[in-house]
Amino acid sequence: MFFQKGGNRMPQHSELTKSSTFQVFIGKQRLSFSKISGLGGGMPKEIYAEGGGVASPHVMRTPKNNLRAVTFERGIQKNNATISKMKPGTFIPWIQILVLDNEKKLKCEYFLEEVWVTKWEVSGLDAMSNNVLIDTFEVEFVNLKKQIF
């Protein structure tokens, strides 16, 4: 518990959730990715000053006019039916991301709803570097749910 009677205390390092182990499910298919970025949300807003006073502007929520993007990265692997279908313009009903601790206990879940694949690219080809080829997928979603366990 982070808040105790008599004051606040900072969480210990061992109490923090680390993001190094996670699983991704697209439908019932479990996929492996090395990196996911862009999970989050925001509030569309418009700021205006009333009566010429700028000391305390008003914030008004506006309708959502764009979707949020999440990027998935992985080394290129042998053919996978789900990955081969992830072309730009593909609709995915949902994507589930499970974050696990070192003992493989579920710590956090992210659930993306109404997902569209918007971009796919392969890392640069360089015969001199001997680097792993990376597939990068960018998706945009309508809704994100987060649950901490």
With a cut of 60, say whether residue 61 has pLDDT above it: yes
- Give the pair of three-digit tokens for residue 78: 């042998």
Q: Which helix (H) or strand (E) holds 70?
A: strand 68-75
Strands 21-26 and 58-61: unpaired
If you search the block for the tokens 């992210």, which residue do you land on?
A: 110
Tens of pLDDT, residues 112-143: 999 999 999 988 888 888 888 888 999 999 99
The one-character DSSP state at 88 is: T
Q: What is the pLDDT of residue 1?
A: 45
How far the first Cα of the chain sits from its last, in Å, is 13
- pTM of the entire structure? 0.75
Interatomic CA distance for residues 133 and 149, integer angstroms: 35
Tens of pLDDT, residues 19-49: 578 999 998 889 889 999 999 888 788 887 7
Given a contact cutoff of 8 angstroms between Cβ atoms, the answer to whether 97 and 36 are in contact is yes
User: SS3 of 54, please?
Assistant: coil
Interatomic CA distance for residues 20 and 66, integer angstroms: 30
